[in-house]
Structure 1
Amino acid sequence: MNEVTVAYDANNHLGETPIWSVEDQALWWVNCENPPEIHRWSPSTGEHAKWDFPDRVGGFVHKAGGGLLVALADGLYDFDPDTGSLDLRVKSGLLPQVKLHECHCDRQGRFWIGCYDHDFGHDRNSRQGKWLRLDGDELTPVLDGVAVANGLAFSPDGRLIYMADAPSRSVSVYDYDPETGTPSNPRLLFKLEEGEGFPDGATVDSEGGYWLANVAAGRLRRYLPDGTLERIVELPFSNPTKPAFGGPDLATLYVTSCQLDLPVFNKPTLPNGAVFAVDSGFRGVAETPLRG
């Protein structure tokens, strides 16, 4: 158990947002920048495809009617992988230094996205990022005061939402109303110690475990909904960015990674920038595509 292998050597600068598509039995993910791309890879056939974009890609989700909703730096775009068409759906309306970043759909197919404040890199007091919800064709601010939004995930029953602010090293959990898309009753799930790296992307398994990519520390962490650290999976690379369950039975935990110049707290033996496969012993939950 917990064997780690290179699934696809993508050589990404900043691999993120792995999503398993049940429909085409393929793993999709982004290289956010240098260059901005979306990738698709089929483990069964080995077929790989990628699409280039004109600006930084924060993330994407699949749409129920086909195609993708893609978050570029300035807004959300409808993208058709078959034709390459890219059409603006909604501008972000955010400050210039605030970029769309971490995104996911809840169990009802409602779209959520977090932002990062680019100015935080040189001004540690700048926290203009937000968590936003797509209501129709409008982005509704729900939570603010964020530096780098990360760790977004929903419990299997859709009644908990997890969110992280990476520089604070903390992950919070909220009760979540699946009918209205409203979070409430926030509490700290956990906080990493100095020297333990940072929280990045996350997913949940079918038992409700919250799996966190512990970037700059080369680890996956599995927490229970009450904040108990159930296990740590040591990885042979430094910078995991986000896990996602995939494969025909959702039993393979795929992990994207990056080559950013981050403080490293372990010695990598496998290449950062690849997509990895972890035998975790757990199964995932199929992603709900965007409705509407």
Structure 2
Amino acid sequence: MAEMFMPAALNVPLCKLGEGPTYDPHTDTAWWFDILNAKLCEYQFGSGVSRQHELPLAASALARVDGHTQLVFTERGLYLRDVTTGDLSLHLELEADNPLTRSNDARVHPSGALWLGTMGWQAEPEAGAIYWYYKGALRKIFDKITISNAICFSPDGAVGYFADTALRKVMRVLLDPANGLPVGEASVFLTAFPAGNPDGAIVDAEGNFWVALWDGSQIAGYAPDGSFLRSIALPVSQPSCPAFVGKDANQMLVTSAWLGMDEAARQQQPAGATFVLDLPFKGRFDPDIKIA
């Protein structure tokens, strides 16, 4: 049964497809995307100030390079973004010649490498892939992915997770902690969930895996051995991705979506809202990405 952690909706615009949340502890700021409306959302916890930045193309994830620059994962590849001006400059193309696909899930490995997942605009079967990026090098590590999701890593960087939401399956793979590259074959980690389908995921400081369940109205937690811990109920049917936030990583931010819902369904819930809840356990933050 889902435990009640009393999620509170932030005073921010609703997202058609909220995704890719991350947190910058240096500035106490959360960032996430409304993918299909090509917007980057920003929320500064200290001041409560919320902003939406219009983007020239769809994007789904970002990583902090330093205090002045972010790396943004878009439908055409990786762009550097000036935090002050919002200016974008192309860093590296990725599937830019494939109009069927777009960016989706991504996360920074403890080494500073980045895993990036693509998918078809219409979730075309096996159209997507997962890539590894590190210091300017790019490599495809998994292919024939329909909906790439749940990319995250153990605290020591020795284990990686990813999902193909269309298969309702989370995979686990051993990694080289020094660079985030797989050192073996991926194996099945999870196939059973309380409800819904695995979407975005994170790993806490103890190595426990927390996954948003799209169409499941909850975040589900699992121990490193795959045993079920608990679930966190949410007042929306389509939670999409969690992120640890707060100076001590003791809160969780969760994005959601109203994609595919008619007006009647949207009236029944705050679909597309972004939530924050306090946690009885400690999370952890993604490191800065290494681009050189």
How far off is 1:196 after superposition?
Answer: 2.6
Aligned-pair identity in percent equals: 28
- Aligned positions, number: 284
Using the alignment, how far apart are the partners of 1:207 and 1:19 within structure 2? 19
Amino acid at match of 1:188: V
Kept in 2: contact 1:236–1:269 (CA 8 A): no
**Structure 1 stretch displaced more, 48-57 or 105-114:** 48-57
Query: What's the secondary structure of 1:8's corresponding residue?
Result: coil
Correspondence 1:38-187 to 2 at 5 A: 38-64=40-66, 66-93=68-95, 95-121=98-124, 126-183=125-182, 184-187=184-187
8 Å CA contact retained: 1:120, 1:147: yes
Matched, 1:10 2:13: yes
Asked if the contact 1:244/1:255 (under 8 Å) is kept, the reply is yes
Partner-residue secondary structure (3-state), 2:150: strand
User: 1:33 deviation in Å?
Assistant: 1.7
What secondary structure does 1:33 align onto?
helix
Q: Within 1, Cα distance between the matches of 2:123 and 2:244?
A: 31
Residue 40 of structure 1 contacts residue 50 of structure 1 at CA under 8 Å; is this kept in 2?
Answer: yes
The correspondence for 1:23, drawn from 22, 26, 40, is: 26
**Aligned to 1:78, what secondary structure does the other structure show?**
strand
Task: Work out whether residues 117 and 146 of structure 1, in 8 Å CA contact, stay in contact via their aligned partners in 2.
Answer: no
Q: 1:11 to 1:134 in 2, by over 3 A?
A: same
In structure 2, C-alpha distance between the alignment counterparts of 1:216 and 1:284, rounded to whole Å: 24
Whether contact under 8 Å (2:216, 2:237) holds in the other structure is yes
Using a 3 Å threshold, how does the CA distance of structure 1 residues 16 and 120 change in structure 2: closer, same or farther?
closer
Deviations 1:164-217 (A, max 9, x none): 001001101111112242212422111146x93111101111111110000111
Out of 17-26 and 4-13, give the one that drifted further: 4-13
Once the two structures are TM-superposed, the CA of residue 236 in structure 1 deviates from its matched residue by 1.5
266-275 or 198-207: bigger deviation: 266-275
Q: Confirm or deny: 8 A CA contact 1:236 1:267 kept in the other structure.
A: no
Look up the SS of the partner of 2:10 in the other structure.
strand
1:245 and 1:285 in contact (8 A); partners too? yes
Q: Which amino acid aligns with 1:151?
A: A
Runs of 4+ in 1 over 4 A off after TM superposition: 266-270
TM-score when normalising by structure 1: 0.91
Contact 1:67 1:79 in 2 (8 A): yes
Give the distance between the partners of 2:277 and 2:267, measured in 1 at CA.
Answer: 16
Relative to structure 1, the CA distance from residue 233 to residue 267 in structure 2 (aligned partners, 3 Å threshold; closer, same or farther) is farther
Shift of 1:235: 1.4
**Distance (whole Å) between structure 2 residues aligned to residue 40 and residue 202 of structure 1:** 20
Q: What is the rounded CA distance, in whole Å, between the counterparts of 1:43 and 1:204 in structure 2?
A: 22
Structure 2 distance, partners of 1:268, 1:208, is 37
Residue of structure 1 in register with 2:217 after alignment: 218
1:169-248 to 2 correspondences below 5 Å: 169-183=168-182, 184-192=184-192, 196-248=195-247
Consecutive unaligned residues in structure 2, runs of 5 or more: none
- Matches of 1:29 and 1:69, distance apart in 2: 13
RMSD: 2.1
* Distance 1:182-1:20 versus aligned 2 partners, 3 A rule: same
Q: How high is the TM-score relative to the length of structure 2?
A: 0.91
> What SS is found at the alignment partner of 2:60?
strand
Query: Distance between the aligned counterparts of 1:222 and 1:234, measured in 2?
Result: 11
- Closer, same or farther: CA 138–274 of 1 in aligned 2, 3 Å: same
Whether 2:285 is the aligned partner of 1:286: answer yes
Deviates more, 1:1-10 or 1:141-150: 1-10
SS in 1 for 2:186: strand
Q: What stretches of structure 1 of length at least 5 have no aligned partner? A: none
